[in-house]
Chain A
Amino acid sequence: MEVFLIFISAVLVNNFVLSYFLGICPFLGVSGKIESATSMGFAVTFVLTLSSAITWLINNYILIAFKVPFLEYVSFIIVIAALVQFVEMFIRKMSKTLYDTLGIYLPLITTNCAILGLALFGALRKYGFIENIVFGIGAGIGFTLALVIMAGIREELDLADVPQPLKGAAITLILAGLLALAFMGFAGLISA
C-alpha cells in the first residue's frame, strides 16, 4: 500500500513538472507534437528509473557506508550524465528519426532538474530500494503524462484563433499555468 501511494503521489499529486516545476525546459521544448512528447517522456522515464536504482545503491552502499554524504551531488550527476550518454547512443542506434526529432533536448536530459531532483528526494526521504524505484517510475510516468497532455493541447491550439499578441510562447506559458492549476486539484487525493 505504501508503495502504491508513493507511485500515485509521484504521478499525480506531486507531479514533477506541474507541482514541483522541475524539468520545465523539455516540457515547453518538446511538447509540440504528441509523438515526440511520448518518446521524450519514455526516454526520461528510462533515465529516471535507472538512475533511481543506481543512485540508491551508491547512496546507501558507498556514500552512507563510508560516511561521505557530501559527495551526493557529484556522484549523482556523474551517474545521470553517463546514463543519458547511454540512452543517447541507444536511441541513435535504434531510431535516427527519433534522434533527430529530440535533437538538443536529448543530451539536455543530463541537466534536467527532474532527474537530479528525484535522486535527491529519494535520499532525503530515506526510501527503501523498491520504493525508490517505484518513485522513479512514477515520476517518469508523471513527466510523460504532463508532456503528452501539453502536446495534445498544443496540437489543438494550432487550429484555435489565438489573439495576435498571445501567439507562440505566450499562450504556451498560460497553458502550462492552467495545467498546473488543474493538477493542484489532485492535492486532496492523498493527505500526506
Chain B
Amino acid sequence: MEITILFISLASMGGIGLVLSMILVIADKNLAVEEDPRVEKALEVLPGANCGACGFAGCAALATALAEGKVSVDACKPGGKEVTDKLVEILGLEEAVEFAPKVARVFCSGGLKEAQRDKIYTGVRTCGSANLVGAEKACLYSCIGYGDCVSACPFDAVRMNDNGLPVIDLGKCTGCGECVRACPRNIIGLTGYEDVVHVYCRSRDKGPVVRKICTAGCIACKLCERDDDTGAVTISDNLSVIDHEVNKAPVMAVKRCPTEVIRISDPVPGHEKLFEEKTKLLQEILEKESKEKKEEPEKK
C-alpha cells in the first residue's frame, strides 16, 4: 500500500512537472526575445561583483545599459582602466574613451564648531536613523556626523576628525561611491581628479537662515558668481554650484567668499602640481588686488 502511494506521488508530480515544462519550452521558443550579443560579452568582462558602484542593480543591468549606449564606458569604477579598455573593444566604439578616475569629497564645512545644534538626539547612532528625525544640527543639509560613510568604505579611506566631519584619504579612495550612497543627506560626491575648486556646502536654505545656524555655510551672496568670468559658477536654489565641465578651477570664485565655503581642495596624490599652480595663481591675484587697494587711498 505504501509503495503504491509512493509510486502515485512520483508519477503525478513527475507528470505535472513534465507537462508544465513542455508548455514552457514551447512558450520559450515562440516568445523568445532577441538580445544584443554585446550584452553577454560585456557581462563577461565586467568584474561580476554586483557591487552597484555604477548605480545599476548589478553587472548584468550595467551591461545592458552599456550596450544601449545609455552610460559612459568608464561607468565601472572598481574595474578600472583594464575593464574600460576591454569594453571599448566589445562595444565597438571608435574613439578610445579615457578612464576618468574619481575621488569622493565631503561637501559640508559645518562641523561641531561651526554648525549650531538645536536638538538632542539619543536614538541609534547612525546617520540613516538620525536623519529620519532631523538629527542634532539645526541645518538639515549638514553632516550628521555618526559616520555611516566611515563604516561603508570598503577601503578604509574615511575617518571622522575632531570636528565631527568625515575626512577622506584621497590616496586610498578608489571612487567606488559606497560612501556617496551611504550618506543620507547626499553631502559626499564623486569628483574628477582635476576638479580643483569646490563649494563645500550643500545647504539650500536662504542666506539669512544659514547665517543664523552655521558659520560655514553658503549664504548665496552671489560674490562668486560675479567674480568668476568663465561662467562656471552659478547660484541656483540658494546654493553656489560649480560646473566643472565649463571650468575645472574657477579660482576667482574663491577669493571673496565670505564664509570660505568655496575653496581650493586638498590635492589628489599624483596631481599635486596642478593644485599648487592654482593656489599660486590665486595668491598672485590676491596680492595684486591688495596692492591696488593700498594705492587707491593714496591717490585720494
Interface residues, chain A, CB within 8 Å of chain B?
58, 62-63, 66-68, 71, 74-75, 78-79, 82, 85-86, 89-90, 92-93, 96, 164-165, 170
Contacts and interface: CB of A to CB of B under 8 A. Distances in A.
B16 A89 contact: no
A162 B8 CA distance: 59
B122 to A, nearest CB: 15
B28 interface: yes
Given A78-B17, A89-B27, 4 more contacts: A62-B16, A86-B24, A89-B28, A92-B31
Contacts of A66: 8, 12
A72 to B, nearest CB: 11
Consensus secondary structure, chain A interface: helix
Interface in B134-158: 134
Interface residues of B, number: 20
Contacts of A164: 132-134
A165 B134 contact: yes
Contacts of B259: none
Contacts of B124: none
Q: What 4 pairs between A and B have smallest CB-CB spacing? A: A82-B20, A93-B31, A89-B31, A66-B8
B12 A90 contact: no
A150 B28 CA distance: 34
A165 B119 CA distance: 14
Given A82-B20, A165-B133, A75 B27 contact: no
A82 B133 contact: no
A68 B9 contact: yes
Given A86-B27, A89-B28, A75 B13 contact: yes
B5 interface: yes
